[in-house]
A and B are shown apart, each in its own frame.
Chain A
Amino acid sequence: MDLLIVLVVLAAVVTFVSAPLRRREPAAAGAGSELAELEAAREAKYREIRDAELDHRTGKLSDADFRAVDAALRAEAVEILHAIDTIRQR
């Protein structure tokens, strides 16, 4: 009984772990690393934009500072989006 359990576990492990190596089709190419990096940067930039707006609304940024910061962040976001679009079009 003990031996049976061990053999079953072993068989399951070997089958499971080797499954990717026995795939007929190559693994789907995921988003390139550069694209993934840009998408993460985009999410972070959106968060910064919203944080800046919240800081402005709660009084930590003056109107003038907020306008400057917001414009700069949106410009950076636009550049990131451009870069993402460029990669996707390739």
Chain B
Amino acid sequence: MAPVGRTLLIVALLIGVYGIVASLHGARSASREWVDSGRRAIYALAGVTTVAWVILEAAFLRNDFSFNVVAAHSSTTTPTFYKLAAPWSSQEGSLLLWVWLMSLWSSLILFLTRRRVREIAPYATAILCAFGVFFTSLAAFFANPFGTTSHPPAEGAGLDPLLLHPSMMIHPPMLYSGYTLLAVPFAFAAGALITGRLRSEWISVSRRFALAAWLFLGVGIVLGARWSYTELGWGGYWAWDPVENAALMPWLCTTAFIHSIMIQEKRGMLKVWNVSLVLASGTLAILGTFLVRSGILDSIHAFGASTLGVPFVGLLAVMIIGSIGLVVSRRDRLRSEARLDSLLSREAVFLLQNLVLVAMVFVIFWITFFPLISQAITGTKVSVGPPAFRPFIVPLALVLVALAGIGPIIAWRRVTAVNLRRNFLAPVGVGIVTAVVLAVRGEAGKPFALAMFALGAFVLATVAQELWRGVGARRAMTREAAPVALLRLIRRNRRRYGGYIVHAGIAVLLIGVAASSSFQHSRDVILSPGGSVNLAGYRITYVRPTAAATAAKLSFGAVLDVTRGGRHVATLRTSRGFYPSQDPSLGVIGRFFNGEADSDVGLKAGLTRDIWTVVNPDLGPLAPYISRGDRVFAQELPPAMQRLRGLSPRQAQAALAPLWALRDRAIVDIAQRFVSHPWPVDFLLIVDPLVVWIWIGAIIVAAGGLIALWPVPTLARRRERVTARRRSPVPGATPAPGATPSPAPSPSATAASAVREPV
């Protein structure tokens, strides 16, 4: 099936080229047939890449090691669950995943908008096809997932043990969905600039799909952080790694866009700003994809230097130059229709929030790329470590959280004293009380953390106040029970309250970040069995060592007991696993002790704190036994192999079976010495407060994003239901002429009746 896969990549490439030509021809000649054909090319691209993906997955599932990628990233012992994820652990598979997801999302969006944005859509289709052509070309000619070998190995190299984690099943697809979804608003923005149609239709389409991209990208980022925290043995969730930053930058840019687009919607302002944000977000998404593959920046994610850097630089150059050219050439159509009335208004708050987000993107970009910038300027690569981010990101994050609280409750027009008193008094009071209480408790020594806690409380108070008042307003009109009123309020105003819920989630998340960054207790300690150490008021005792040997790996670990004030708190189990190496030079026994390693984190999570540990056992004391085993097998194996001559593979396997059984017994016996003759081992122990708030906050953010994204029946359809039901006017609503609904309502009556439903 590999030739089929290779051919399908070429077919996909040709479909993409056709899609570009057909869409552009249809747009220029105003021919619906050609435009529809161009759109179908995207659907066909999705179909063909789906078939290609299925072929690749099938190869992994049936352990077809004639496929190079299968041999390199899977094995017969890889669990089926992870075999499905293995394709995207490789450069080749991840490229195919990118074009597959992009074509799927593009197909969905072009289908949903097939009767809308008719002038913009053909150009957007052409640009999406161009992305498809680019990535398919890379997959077909530079990193082909269907490359084969005529001498397939009997066993594959297996999946990197670090990737054997549930988060790894969904983190890359979520991230890639975010990246590929950002290509869609990019394409629509470019199409809108080309056609000059940057008004309500474009706003409606772009906002929704940018929000979807934001949601997926955000979930992908958090899953990566979760994986880092629970799988990697360093105890953190964010390292300011270049590839982490590469995902964060487009997410921040998109956050700015989904806020500032509201100003364009309401006031016709910030048009240049908004198209620039969308184009920048799409470009940053491609930049992120590039960073992982080029090897230009050192990262644990980087796949090492590859030949893909040059094509990506070319694509980025086209995107940047094209974006700037389009914005400059269409600047006359991007003039603002209104001006900022007052700095004390919601418009000003949104604008300031945008500036802060863009400043964060700039800071992250500069520090991440500084090695290349410095090399270009001075000839020397200069790296700036993660501590360089803190002096900039922390103050900016504080301002951002403050604005997240101010934005929902400040008036659109301008603030008045009455407005200030009515809307700000309670939330500001909550924030101040929080700050005072925590300062009295002793947290004043960490002023930034204290500020974040106070501002987070302020944000949560504003959201609570808004929900309270909204429910009150609805109940005043409908007399519903509070829970029902709350649900219906959110259902009727999904954009608003979905956004408020997101703000609440961000506040919770950043409180968790502030607490875990500022109040972490950590110790790197060597303990013998029975030994104890004190950390952050907890007593942690190394109870006993553990060892386990399976066909897949050897594990050396420990059981630790955690107490506080003499009371048992938790039992932690941690281990370090060693996977057999395929390198024969390490010895028959030695290769089982010197292969890939991973850490099994011992974690007791709680609402107030996490207790986290990993063990790093030094296997030096086992070295004499391993060496002796290697020597014995070095003597026994060659004559045994000689005796296999003339035997069939099955007979040879049967003949060697006793030898392998002896090997396995030796490995188990050696490993068991870790338990029977234990020696001091190295533990990293961490007590980290409020880490779980990060995950809870992320879940709240995702829920809010989903609510904001969920489609609402159009107001026009609601209007028809309203007029049909002849709903009576709601008390307090402004009476309008011709308010009584009629079978053929006048426009003014329509406008009045459209909003006569409860809020």
Residues of A within 8 A of B (CB): 2, 5-6, 9-10, 12-13, 16-21, 23, 26-27, 29-31, 33, 36-37, 39-51, 53-55, 57-62, 65-67, 69-71, 74, 77-78, 81-82, 85
B203 near A44 with CB under 8 A, answer: yes
Shortest CB distance A45–B (Å):
8
20 CB contacts below 8 A, A to B, read: A10-B11, A16-B47, A17-B37, A26-B33, A37-B199, A37-B200, A40-B201, A40-B203, A43-B200, A49-B754, A49-B755, A54-B473, A57-B470, A57-B759, A58-B466, A67-B734, A77-B747, A77-B754, A78-B748, A81-B750
B759 near A46 with CB under 8 A, answer: no
B419 near A71 with CB under 8 A, answer: no
Task: Scan B688-707; emit 1 where CB is below 8 A from any A CB, else 0.
Answer: 00000000000000000000
Q: Which of B8, B33, B117 neighbours the largest number of chain A CB atoms within 10 Å of its CB?
A: B33
A81 near B751 with CB under 8 A, answer: yes
B37 near A21 with CB under 8 A, answer: yes
Shortest CB distance A30–B (Å):
5
Shortest CB distance B696–A (Å):
27
Cα separation A41 to B493 with both chains bound (whole Å): 18
Is B377 in the interface zone, CB < 8 Å from A? no
Residue among A9, A49, A66, A77 making CB contact with B8, cutoff 8 Å: A9
Residue among B44, B204, B470 making CB contact with A17, cutoff 8 Å: B44
Chain B stretch 1-58: residues in CB contact (< 8 A) with chain A: 1, 3-4, 7-8, 11, 15, 18, 22, 32-34, 36-37, 40-41, 43-44, 47-48, 51
Residue among A40, A43, A53, A85 making CB contact with B747, cutoff 8 Å: A85
Chain A hits for B1, CB < 8 A: 2
Chain B hits for A57, CB < 8 A: 469-470, 473, 476, 732, 759
Residue among A53, A61, A69 making CB contact with B733, cutoff 8 Å: A53
B33 near A21 with CB under 8 A, answer: yes
| 10 nearest CB pairs, A to B | A81-B747, A57-B473, A27-B32, A40-B200, A20-B36, A58-B469, A77-B751, A46-B715, A41-B200, A40-B201
Residue of B nearest to A33 (CB): B119
Q: A21-B33, A43-B716 are in contact. Are A36 and B116 (CB under 8 A)?
A: yes
Shortest CB distance B485–A (Å):
12
A37 near B197 with CB under 8 A, answer: yes
Residue among B118, B204, B733 making CB contact with A40, cutoff 8 Å: B204
Chain A hits for B15, CB < 8 A: 13, 17
Cα separation A79 to B3 with both chains bound (whole Å): 61
Place the interface of chain B in its size category: 35 or more
Cα separation A12 to B45 with both chains bound (whole Å): 12
Given contacts A51-B496, A57-B732, 18 further A-B contacts (CB under 8 A): A5-B4, A9-B11, A13-B47, A17-B40, A19-B40, A20-B36, A40-B204, A43-B715, A53-B759, A57-B470, A58-B466, A58-B469, A59-B419, A59-B423, A62-B416, A69-B413, A78-B748, A81-B751
Shortest CB distance B692–A (Å):
32
Shortest CB distance B614–A (Å):
48
Is B422 in the interface zone, CB < 8 Å from A? yes
Chain A hits for B419, CB < 8 A: 59-60, 62
Chain B hits for A20, CB < 8 A: 32-34, 36-37, 40
B416 near A13 with CB under 8 A, answer: no
B118 near A33 with CB under 8 A, answer: yes
Chain A hits for B734, CB < 8 A: 66-67, 70-71, 74
Q: A37-B200, A40-B204, A49-B755 are in contact. Are A17 and B41 (CB under 8 A)?
A: yes
Is B752 in the interface zone, CB < 8 Å from A? yes
Is B151 in the interface zone, CB < 8 Å from A? no
Cα separation A57 to B493 with both chains bound (whole Å): 14
Residue among B4, B36, B199 making CB contact with A41, cutoff 8 Å: B199
A60 near B41 with CB under 8 A, answer: no
Task: Scan B742-759; emit 1 where CB is below 8 A from any A CB, else 0.
Answer: 000001101110110001
Residue of A nearest to B19 (CB): A17
Is B319 in the interface zone, CB < 8 Å from A? no
Chain A hits for B476, CB < 8 A: 57
B496 near A58 with CB under 8 A, answer: no
Cα separation A71 to B752 with both chains bound (whole Å): 10
Residue among B3, B43, B118, B418 making CB contact with A2, cutoff 8 Å: B3
Q: A53-B755, A62-B416, A78-B747 are in contact. Are A21 and B34 (CB under 8 A)?
A: yes
Chain B hits for A46, CB < 8 A: 715, 719, 751, 754-755
Is B150 in the interface zone, CB < 8 Å from A? no
Shortest CB distance A27–B (Å):
4
Cα separation A54 to B730 with both chains bound (whole Å): 13
Task: Scan B59-87; emit 1 where CB is below 8 A from any A CB, else 0.
Answer: 00000000000000000000000000000
Is B409 in the interface zone, CB < 8 Å from A? yes
Is B583 in the interface zone, CB < 8 Å from A? no
Chain B hits for A29, CB < 8 A: 32
Cα separation A45 to B40 with both chains bound (whole Å): 33
Residue of A nearest to B1 (CB): A2
Cα separation A24 to B412 with both chains bound (whole Å): 53
Residue of A nearest to B32 (CB): A27
Chain B hits for A33, CB < 8 A: 118-119, 197
Residue of B nearest to A30 (CB): B115
A6 near B37 with CB under 8 A, answer: no
Cα separation A50 to B251 with both chains bound (whole Å): 30
Shortest CB distance B414–A (Å):
9
Residue of B nearest to A82 (CB): B747
Residue of A nearest to B732 (CB): A57
Is B341 in the interface zone, CB < 8 Å from A? no
Cα separation A51 to B413 with both chains bound (whole Å): 13
Cα separation A47 to B718 with both chains bound (whole Å): 12
Residue among A19, A47, A60, A78 making CB contact with B423, cutoff 8 Å: A60
Residue of A nearest to B36 (CB): A20
Shortest CB distance A46–B (Å):
4
Shortest CB distance A60–B (Å):
5
Residue among A6, A16, A39, A82 making CB contact with B40, cutoff 8 Å: A16
Chain A hits for B416, CB < 8 A: 62
B754 near A54 with CB under 8 A, answer: no
Chain A hits for B412, CB < 8 A: 55, 60-61
Cα separation A55 to B419 with both chains bound (whole Å): 11
Q: A5-B4, A6-B4, A20-B40 are in contact. Are A50 and B759 (CB under 8 A)?
A: yes
Cα separation A82 to B747 with both chains bound (whole Å): 7
Residue of B nearest to A14 (CB): B44
Cα separation A10 to B22 with both chains bound (whole Å): 18
Shortest CB distance A22–B (Å):
9
